[in-house]
Amino acid sequence: MVTLEPRAVFGFFNEITQIPRASKKEEKIGQYLVDFAKKHNLSVKKDRVGNILIEKPATAGYQDAKKVILQAHQDMVCEKNSNVIFNFDTDPIKTQIDGDFLKAKGTTLGADNGIGVAMALAVLESTEIQHPALECLFTVDEETGLTGAFALEADFITGDMLINLDSEDDGQIFVGCAGGIGTTAKWTLTREKIPDGFYAFRVNISGLQGGHSGDDINKNRANANKLLNRFLWEINAKTDLRLAYFNGGNLHNAIPREAVAAAIVPLKDKENLSIWFNIFVAAIENEWLRYEPNIKLELETEEAVNDVIAKEMSDKLLDAIYACPNGIAAMSPDLAGLVETSTNLASVKMPQQTELLIVTSQRSSLETAKYDIAHQVQSAFRLGGATVELGDGYPGWQPNMQSEILKVAAASYETLFGEKPLVRAIHAGLECGLFKEKRPTLDMISIGPQMYGVHSPDERLSITSTLKTWKWLIEILKNVK
């Protein structure tokens, strides 16, 4: 690997890329961290789920300063291109430099959050950086459930301030995040043979942008499930439609890009169906083409349908999906442009002919509003005849604009770079909300270097931004008194 600056940070990151560390499989990276601590004669402990804490005493003159926690997560998202042969359980990440960016060859890079781990290790190793007493907390399984942060015992950490190193935007300080909860509806379906005199068709929606259901919910992204259901509902209002199947979306935290369904209508309305479809396409293009330039809607004959959902149940399903709220529910009154509350109708799946599952996710920076929007979703599905379960959820992190560590970080950035950093919150989940719940007095911020395409094989890390963030982190630690 070409020598990159900061040398210590990229040196540790290179070592980390050689270690398999999929979520829930952090044993090897955990052992690497323990071995690092022992090699450098630093105190280390590990809790029952695999969270690791490495401590380092204050440097001279900082013995009376507040103790700082540097925090990052051990695991990474494991995604690869379909044409790439790669085993995330055994193979090292293959990195490459592309201009200012460090990337992987056909897989996720794991800079989320390996670069945060590397920065913490570089601070721990250094004999030159001035800093107060440090605790470096490395949590497990952030990417698939925050289970490390959930399981963290309140007394596992003792620091007064926490710097989360899991952000992905250059020159920005995050001081708050949304809490989240998942709401899942289940229908047990009654099916019947297709009556005589009916025509079976399939309708498909594709080409939407999709995106993260938190970060991208305010970017005018169409929801494939909602659009598809809207067409079916409108046809059902005109004639005797019965649903055969409905499949759309995938991940619980993603805005669905594609959806497909099959249904039947009386044979006498076959030609009308084409007319109604064309009218619908024109309406959708008028509403969405400026935001979704690649949207594609297709209507075809479906040959493979043998039975359909019973009429009354089919009607209730379409009504429930139509009634289910989706998108932004409220904007923050405190931070301009920040979504306060939202909900995403993430996926509609039929794992078997007699079962339909709908997965949704709700987010809010207010706990009460989070549950309110979840209960709205729950009510819509219950009215539609479903059994509904709410997940455990995770808490949000309320911004504290009077935060001491925020003031130190902002002043340090201005001193180094001659401009003020952007202070903001995000409508997505961070572990900070759970840390705050366990230790209410904890003073926190989140920072990190510029990254793009995280959670995908397009993930790339800015090399210059990493150096900039490293200098900033050192300055923050120097200025904590």
From the list 404, 398, 446, 402, the residue with the least C-alpha distance to 422 is: 446
Structure-block tokens of residue 431: 């572990």
Phi-psi sector, 295: left (phi>0), alpha (psi -120 to 50), beta: beta
In sequence order, what are the beta bridge partners of 136? 54, 70
CB 163 within 8 A of CB 76: no
CA-CA distance, 27 to 323, in Å (whole number)?
Answer: 45
From the list 223, 212, 152, 225, the residue with the least C-alpha distance to 185 is: 225
Q: Which of 26, 55, 135, 142 is catalytic?
A: 142
Question: What does the CA dihedral 328, 330, 331, 334 come to, rounded to 10 degrees?
Answer: -150
* Residue 142 known to be catalytic: yes
> At how many degrees (to 10) do helices 463-479 and 7-17 cross?
120
> At how many degrees (to 10) do helices 7-17 and 27-39 cross?
140
> In terms of DSSP bridges, do strands 198-206 and 259-266 run parallel, antiparallel, or are they unpaired?
antiparallel
Q: Is 230 exposed, middle or buried (0-12, 13-18, 19+ CB in 10 A)?
A: middle
Question: Which residues does 473 contact at the CB level (< 8 Å), separation at least 6?
Answer: 119, 123, 163, 165, 447
Residue whose token pair is 């306060």 = 340
* Residue 100 known to be catalytic: no
**Could you tell me the CA-to-CA distances from 416 to 162, 351, 394, 413, 447 in Å, in that order?**
21, 55, 36, 5, 15
From the list 250, 252, 249, the residue with the least C-alpha distance to 226 is: 249
From the list 183, 73, 219, 85, the residue with the least C-alpha distance to 138 is: 73
From the list 261, 362, 260, 355, the residue with the least C-alpha distance to 313 is: 355
CB 178 within 8 A of CB 426: yes
Q: Which of 26, 75, 170, 340 is catalytic?
A: 75
CB 198 within 8 A of CB 267: yes
Q: Is 129 exposed, middle or buried (0-12, 13-18, 19+ CB in 10 A)?
A: middle
CA-CA distance, 341 to 367, in Å (whole number)?
Answer: 10
> In terms of DSSP bridges, do strands 296-301 and 198-206 run parallel, antiparallel, or are they unpaired?
antiparallel
* Active-site residue set: 75, 142
